[in-house]
Amino acid sequence: GHAKSVPSRYSLVFDADRQVNAAAGAQPAPIKIRVLLLRSDAEFMDADFFSLQNDAKSVLGNSLLDSDQFFLTPGQTGKKLGGQSALDARYIGVIAEYQNLDGKTWRISLPLPEPTETNFYKVWQFSPDELEAHIVAGVSGLRPVKKVD
């Protein structure tokens, strides 16, 4: 049979803490979230915040396959982002652009399932593996929340 690789899918849900992006004494502000589809997360985890913020393409080179961005308002819950990843994508990187980065977890990397090989005659009954993640942008940074079955 002819094996065919099917990229994994991802389904992310984001929540923001009500005090998410409050600089000292200021009102909480919307926070920009960037989601990056990566071949490798080594460059992503090594780079500093400002390089990633200003010029992710040149810092990440060809490990960056795609990116998306959106704002979360303080207290917002259930913001969904999903899709088909690329065949050579292995990680999803998430960056939160906090006003004050001190001691905050402003980036996380989530491993994607491997693309699945399937025989063409089975495709109709087949669904690729999916990365499902629930991510909270909290006062102390990003954190993935384990799903409860």
**The pLDDT value given to residue 58:** 95
**The pLDDT value given to residue 67:** 94
Bridge partners of 96? Answer: 33
Least confident of 22-26, 42-46, 81-85, 96-100: 22-26
Beta-carbon count within 10 A of 18 CB: 11
**Where is 111: in which H helix or E strand?**
strand 107-111
pLDDT at 124 > cutoff 60: no
CA separation for the pair 9, 72 (Å, rounded): 22
pLDDT at 123 > cutoff 90: no
Q: 3-class SS at 43?
A: helix
CA separation for the pair 127, 47 (Å, rounded): 35
pLDDT at 118 > cutoff 70: no
The residue ranges of DSSP E strands in 17-111, in sequence order, are: 31-38, 64-72, 79-84, 91-97, 107-111
**The pLDDT value given to residue 1:** 56
pLDDT at 122 > cutoff 70: no
**The pLDDT value given to residue 22:** 82
pLDDT at 43 > cutoff 90: yes
pLDDT at 111 > cutoff 90: yes
CA separation for the pair 70, 137 (Å, rounded): 13
Q: What is the CATH number of domain 12-112+133-145?
A: 2.60.40.4150
Query: What integer is the mean pLDDT of 73-79?
Result: 96
**The pLDDT value given to residue 130:** 84
pLDDT tens column, 2-29: 667 778 889 999 999 999 988 777 788 9
